[in-house]
Amino acid sequence: MAEIDEYVKSRMEEDKNDELSLKDLVKQLRFYWRYLWQKKWIIIVCGLVFGAGGLVYSIIKKPTYTAKYVFTIEGSSSEGRGMAAAMAAFGFSGGASMGAFSGDNLVELIKSRTLVEKTFLSPVDIDGKKETFIEYYFTVTEAREKCDELEKKEGITTVCDIHFPVGQDRATFSREQDSILMAVAGGMIEKGIDVSRRDKKLSFVDLSVSTTNELFSKLFSTALLQEVTTFYVDSKTALSRKNLQAFQYQADSVKKELDKALSSRAYYADVNVNPAKQVLGIQLQQKQMDIQIFGTAYAEMIRNIEMLKLELARETPLIRIIDSPVLPLEINKLGKKKGLVIGGFLGGFLSILGLLGWKFIGNLKEQLKEDENEKNEVLAKSEGQNS
């Protein structure tokens, strides 16, 4: 057992003193450098193969066209105190700031699945033919080019079998229509739409739409911004418009009662020009009082309605477009030289990484094997002495 104790003690001392010095580090680097130099042809071949792959990719990769909007949102989110008091007097809620659609939330709103799907279902006029954007998308992406050649299989539905006509109610969509629409919208959100704010302190927003078709990029970006504008303005002014409609309804009701009171007074006055009884005069006075009451209430409500209209106009945000896309659009394409260089560099880097990893694992296995052999020799020697 003494040999085993000495062996364990020696291994512990080696581990204790096994600190990588600068000299050892330089030695290791030289060792791996010589190893890589010996394998230089493998690295060169990998670089050439990957470079050729990058060149082919740059040739077959379709260029993308980017339509870019730069816009800012202007509008007041505060509320007039006088108007709030007037609405409270009539039992209505005051307007509120729609902070949920401000700042970075607006960026997420533009990329929301609902608005992108609405844009895909909105109509577009192409060469005098009106169709939905998703149908136009299938045309420009050639998704249905080989529909006649495909063999139809039972139970399998493709874009060749599904269509999205203009004006179809979203609630009537089939499961297949929903699946295709969600897939197309999700792909556009992930790869085709980019929204950003230039600065946290500024209200400038950049909206970019990139596709492989120049005209589609321009038209889709315009339609998407229009959907966002409509939804944003409707959301910001929803409460004010609701209050305005309620005020208008009550004003119309009071106007009807006022008209009735005027008609009744005129009727009593015409039938009883020289009344012999005082009761007829009292009825005329009552009608006159009703006219005064309804007239005063109606005048006050009309004044408040005008104030509400001004408040609605003040709270309606204005989306001001600073820059809009014009043809020809910006082209994003990987050049042949760039593809060759990137592919060659990537191939060389991956080959070097693989060779170093392979050599390191090989050295580690050899070290473990040597340690195992040394341990077995010590055990065999110890058993021989004991026997």
Residues near 314 by beta carbon (within 8 Å), at least 6 away in sequence: 76, 80
92 has a pLDDT exceeding 70:
no
Greater pLDDT, 254 or 325:
325
Residues near 317 by beta carbon (within 8 Å), at least 6 away in sequence: 73, 74, 75, 232, 233, 236
Q: Would the pTM of this model clear 0.75, i.e. be above it?
A: no
Q: Which residue has the tokens 């992930």?
A: 190
Q: Within 10 A of 50 (CB to CB), how many other CB atoms are there?
A: 21
Residue 224, amino acid: L
Structural contact between residues 236 and 316, judged by C-beta atoms closer than 8 angstroms: yes
pLDDT digits (tens, 9 = 90+) for 112-140: 899 999 999 999 998 888 999 999 999 88
**Tokens describing residue 12:** 């512990």
63 has a pLDDT exceeding 50:
yes
Cα–Cα dist 280/299, whole Å: 28
The whole-number pLDDT of residue 116 equals 92
297 backbone dihedrals φ, ψ, rounded to 5°: -65, -40
Question: If one looks up domain 64-237+318-332 in CATH, what number appears?
Answer: 3.30.1890
Domain ranges in the chain are 2-11+22-60+336-386, 64-237+318-332, 241-315
Residue 102: pLDDT band by 50, 70, 90 thresholds? low
Q: Which residue has the tokens 């599904």?
A: 162
Structural contact between residues 109 and 100, judged by C-beta atoms closer than 8 angstroms: no
| Range in 18-22, 43-47, 174-178 with the lowest mean pLDDT | 18-22
| Helices (H), ranges, the chain | 2-16, 22-38, 40-60, 81-89, 104-110, 113-121, 133-140, 175-187, 214-236, 238-271, 278-315, 336-386
Highest mean pLDDT, choosing among 209-223, 303-317, 365-379:
209-223
